[in-house]
Chains A and B, each alone.
Chain A
Amino acid sequence: MRDLSVSRHVTILSPTAILGYGFPESSFRAGLARHPDVIAVDAGSTDPGPYYLGSGESFTNRDAVKRDLLLMIEAGLDLDIPILIGTAGGAGAEPHLAWCLEIVDEVLCDLGRCARVADIASDQNRDSLISALHSSRITELGPVPPLTQDAIEKSSHIVAQMGVEPIIEALDQGAQIIVTGRCYDPAVFAAVPIRAGFSEALSLHLGKILECAAIAATPGSGSDCMIGVIDESGFTLEALSPERKCTVTSVAAHTLYEKTDPRYLPGPGGVLDLARCHFEQMDERRVRVTGTQLQKGADYTIKLEGAQPVGFRTISIAGIRAPDLIQQLDVVLKDVRDRVFANFESIDSREAQLLFRVYGQNGVMGDLEPLTDQRPHEVGLVIEVVAKTQSLADTVCSFARSTLLHFGYPGRQSTAGNLAFPYSPSDISHGVVYEFSVYHLMIVDDPVSPFPMRIQNLGTVR
């Protein structure tokens, strides 16, 4: 591999916003022609909700992930540059990491190649977490309640976001492919330039933009490639498909993307300060960024994420078109709810929760919907039940559905059913429901030891 410590710039290829979301091969080849020093991709997000961290499943499709990895690994090995994968399997817990490593091994075998592969775990030991909790090393992150020992014990997986340090450690040990557990999104993009001595602030800011690939271009896409070049005073971004370009607005907008504070972007071990940040249009397609600063804290903190099972869900989907029913739907749904719980007196209402999502009325925004006096001509109804057991959720959902189907509301002229079902069967048993139970910050002694690494040869020759 090229010695980047004597290089005046580092080029980073980001093929796609999430591993498995795909990318046009033409864009990827255009990126390879720029002689990248690393191919990095973010594979994770909490956006798909707590289920995936809780269950250990991936929110991305295995075949789609394999397709992306095949192109990336082949190109990376051919160019003799590292291939870095952040937050394997979407959530980065042990089963996600194992799932991604298995695909990497399969890809290497398909290619007839062998590679030195590092994997870095991010699962946190429950006993250590409880002891950190009792020694006041864990604090809330944003609007969440204080962490409890109960939440730690009931969570099925608890991971922590690693920074660049464990990844740099793996690079030092000669890993060609690095697959990480839960990882700060920018870290896989920033690790190579930081290791080569470039500014941590600029490297992390570049990583923050590259982790979503061409979402930071216009027109934006989560399934197209982006390239970033960092030098001693700034970095330059360019979308690799000719139909997209980076503009000051698209790059500045992405810098603030999904951040609660537009000036300070906190991450493991420090906070990016964008106050002196400058965005400059280099030409029609490229934007240069300078001036980003990093404030390092006295303590090194990492973000913890955990999910715990809270019940089982069953849903039923139906359409309503009768104007007289839509007119009084809120009242009718309340009556249906009362009738359901009156019918099953043995069911403790704390054991089953019945929810109606009324699309066309306030299904998207719920109580936050400002338009409350408008009646649509049709609504889509999702009846949702979350209960202690799947059987109880099935029972309550089924009864709510059948009650509403033949409910005799005031003034009703129809004597037939009230609901139009798109599917038979109408009810769907949806399985375990999880919630985010841990979303906290933890102070650690050093940034590497919470993330154990293993290096092995994978592929054809063991």
Chain B
Amino acid sequence: MKLSDLATVIRSKNAGPFELTFDVLFANHDDFERVVSKRLFIVGLSVMVRERVPTPVGMDLCCRRKRLQAYLVFQSAM
């Protein structure tokens, strides 16, 4: 089964100039638990750091190294 079969929202979005977020949302608690409990995927919200790379003339928004900054699982009282 693919993650897209279970999740209702899958998206990536920058959070400010230097961070990239991935959000995966589920419609019900069972689907959420199914993925989270088995650690089938990095669920909830994870962050990939867009590091500023110091270069002679600078470069805006350059991805050089990937690093997982945070792995967070969030359950709202939906």
Name A's B-contacting residues (CB within 8 A).
46-47, 49-50, 141-145, 248-249, 252-253, 255-263, 274, 276-279, 291, 310-311, 350-353, 355, 365-368, 386-388, 433-436, 439
Contacts and interface: CB of A to CB of B under 8 A. Distances in A.
B23 A142 contact: no
Contacts, number: 123
| 9 A-B pairs with least C-beta separation | A310-B58, A262-B74, A350-B56, A311-B57, A278-B77, A435-B60, A436-B17, A435-B58, A143-B49
A71 to B, nearest CB: 29
Contacts of B44: 262
A143 B64 CA distance: 13
Given A144-B52, A253-B25, A436 B70 contact: no
B42 interface: no
Nearest to A260: B15
Given A259-B21, A311-B57, A47 B64 contact: no
Interface string B1-32: 00000001101011111110101010100000
Interface string B25-59: 10100000000000000001101111110011111
A433 B58 contact: yes
B17 A353 contact: no
A249 B8 CA distance: 8
Contacts of A368: 48, 63, 66
B64 to A, nearest CB: 7
B32 to A, nearest CB: 12
A249 B15 contact: no
Interface of B: 8-9, 11, 13-19, 21, 23, 25, 27, 44-45, 47-52, 55-64, 66, 69-70, 72, 74, 76-78
A440 to B, nearest CB: 11
A258 B78 CA distance: 20
Contact of A50 (B17, B51, B64, B77): B17
A50 B11 CA distance: 23
A262 B21 CA distance: 10
A46 B7 CA distance: 29
B64 A256 contact: no
Contacts of B62: 366
B70 A276 contact: no
A261 B61 contact: no
Contacts of A259: 15, 21, 45
Contact of A260 (B19, B60, B66): B19
B23 A253 contact: yes
Contacts of A277: 76-77
Contacts of B58: 310-311, 386, 433, 435
B56 A274 contact: no
Nearest to B65: A367
B45 A261 contact: yes
Nearest to A312: B57
Contacts of A366: 62-63
13 contacts: A47-B14, A49-B61, A143-B18, A144-B52, A249-B27, A252-B25, A259-B45, A262-B72, A262-B74, A368-B66, A434-B60, A435-B60, A439-B18
B25 to A, nearest CB: 5
A351 B55 CA distance: 10
Given A368-B48, A368-B63, A252 B21 contact: no
Given A258-B13, A259-B15, A368-B48, A353 B78 contact: no
B5 to A, nearest CB: 16
Contacts of B56: 350-351, 353
A46 B16 contact: yes
Contacts of B72: 261-263
Contacts of A387: 57
Nearest to A291: B77
A4 B36 CA distance: 45
